[in-house]
Structure 1
Amino acid sequence: MNEQHHKPSYTANDAAEPAPEVPGGEKTAAAVTETIQQLGQTAVPAPGESNVYCLTIIGQIEGHLVLPPQNKTTKYEHLIPQLVAAEQNPRIEGILIILNTVGGDVEAGLAIAEMISSLSKPTVTVVIGGGHSIGVPIAVASDYSFIAESATMTIHPIRMTGLVIGVPQTFEYIEKMQERVVRFVTAHSQISENTFKELMFKTGELNRDIGTAVGGNDAVKNGLIDGIGGIGQGLAKLNELIESRRAGGGLTQ
């Protein structure tokens, strides 16, 4: 996606009376602005700022193929270095993941989910709006997960687009990929494999697809998500996990 950078306009008074220079200030502001424009993220917190890093996953998860420019996307190659940086930064004590996605590339989504689940620092996921399709493994990858009462999660079988070769090996490949998703979700949540597959293969509920749209309360009832809540509950739980880790000697100040 091509992005346009507009230069600020200046008046004659601005030219006559330049603002006092702050060492490194202009460069820092430019770097933060560039990060926001490219990644939709603010910079990793500096000393004295929050000890929690907020990671947002919105729109469609873009994988190995570049999606059309009109699509709102989250690129997995942007998220991976952010997670690595947060893991390495000693000032970051916890990571809050805000999720509102329609799904996307299966392998990219699983890669993000695996990275979140392998972080040594406390993690909490908050699903707002929706955590559909491959967003389900990402939602359950954290230490604790919340979902807004009005949010939904669509659970359905894996689909393929483009050229599909009609041979048994193709269907075996799809089945193996699907089992990867099922194993990950059931291993990182309280939902049973039978219940998850029942929701995945349910017919008659989705108009143009097979599967189930699970609301916030049902997601918690089925054991897919840990609790109902939003940003406030998510931060409170994350701080609780951080304090617990500190007490166990995992973090130092």
Structure 2
Amino acid sequence: MLFRNEEPTGTPIPGMVPGPDPAVPDKPPLPTAPPLAPKNPALENLEALGTTQVPVVSPNIHLLTIIGQVEGHLTLPPQNKTTKYEHIIPQLVAVEQSPEIEGLLLVLNTVGGDVEAGLAIAEMIASLSKPSVSLVLGGGHSIGVPIAVSTTYSFIATTATMTIHPIRLTGLVIGVPQTYDYLDKMQDRVIRFVVANSNCSEQRFRELMFRTGELARDVGTIVVGPDAVKEGLIDEVGGLSDAVRKLRQLIAERKQARPGVVQ
């Protein structure tokens, strides 16, 4: 039986807020994803650069490294330590265009690599309007030689070496005349570039390149730090402090020569 002011069970009375139904158990709250932890810069640097801290250097000097093998049009195996030329070219463009960057410090420890890519890097460095200094550590072999001499001034460590040898595809004898002519022209480009950007004569550089008896399975010459300076390939034997000091000197001289120009 229902009285006049009552409603059937389950039907709320108008104007009243319905309470929880005791017959329906409360649903547990939906799980929420934990908040994303902020990225740790130290871990990011460790993954990308192998160090927990990146030292702050002078903003007016850009450091460029040529490490391992210069990778060009072909991708090298993942176990090879490589320097990709498509990563280097944008940096060189930024060095030329940035008003904050006043000089380039180039550090090399390379076995060589793609001839056209290495020569392209060397040409871009040589065409910079800003002073540049290179430092050969460990080795600056093969196409690393043109890259090392492309800067305004060059240094080589006492124990560093440079291998000078002809351009070749493999150890096999090249039997196609067209291929030989192409390599010969490319080799002339490398020779002309090295001679134009160093104090080594073309005749002497060709003698070093085609010397027999020094390399076990190839023709060419290995020159150690002081010998590279004697041959006129590198300007001076020195280390990191010498290279930085020389670059700062070249930057100061450029400012004095162009007092009214703001980079």
Using the size of structure 2 for normalisation, the TM-score is 0.78
- The equivalences for 1:37-52 within 5 A come to 49-52=58-61
The one-letter amino acid of 2:94's match is A
Correspondence for 2:132? 123
2:161 to 148, 152, 155: 152
- Structure 1 residue runs without a partner (length 5+): 1-14, 20-25
Is 2:210 aligned against 1:201?
Answer: yes
Instruction: Describe the shift of the 1:226–1:162 C-alpha distance in structure 2 as closer, same or farther (beyond 3 A).
Output: closer
Tell me the secondary structure at the aligned position of residue 169 of structure 1. helix
CA contact (8 A) 1:126 1:231 kept: yes
The structural deviation recorded for 1:166 is 2.4
Is 2:88 aligned against 1:79?
Answer: yes
Inter-partner Cα distance in structure 2 for 1:213 and 1:163: 22
**Percent identity, aligned pairs only?**
64
The structural deviation recorded for 1:78 is 0.3
The one-letter amino acid of 2:81's match is K
The structural deviation recorded for 1:185 is 0.1
When the two chains are superposed, the root-mean-square deviation of aligned CA atoms in Å is: 2.8
- The equivalences for 1:1-253 within 5 A come to 29=41, 33=45, 36=48, 49-161=58-170, 166-249=175-258, 252=262
The structural deviation recorded for 1:111 is 0.4
Inter-partner Cα distance in structure 1 for 2:139 and 2:122: 16
Correspondence for 1:9? none
- Structure 2 residue runs without a partner (length 5+): 1-33
**Deviation digits for residues 190-247 of structure 1 (CA, Å, limit 9, x no counterpart):** 0000100000000000111110000101100010000001110000000000000000
The one-letter amino acid of 1:75's match is K
Tell me the secondary structure at the aligned position of residue 218 of structure 2. coil
Correspondence for 2:15? none
CA contact (8 A) 2:174 2:180 kept: no
The structural deviation recorded for 1:141 is 0.2
The one-letter amino acid of 1:222's match is E
Tell me the secondary structure at the aligned position of residue 65 of structure 2. strand
CA contact (8 A) 2:119 2:146 kept: yes
Q: Which has the higher helix share?
A: 1
CA contact (8 A) 2:113 2:142 kept: yes
Tell me the secondary structure at the aligned position of residue 189 of structure 1. coil
The structural deviation recorded for 1:36 is 4.4
Using the size of structure 1 for normalisation, the TM-score is 0.81
CA contact (8 A) 1:146 1:228 kept: yes
CA contact (8 A) 1:102 1:131 kept: yes
CA contact (8 A) 1:164 1:170 kept: no
CA contact (8 A) 1:35 1:43 kept: no
Inter-partner Cα distance in structure 2 for 1:125 and 1:90: 21
Inter-partner Cα distance in structure 1 for 2:141 and 2:110: 6
Structure 1 moving runs of 4+ over 3 Å: 32-38, 42-45, 161-165, 250-253
The structural deviation recorded for 1:252 is 3.7
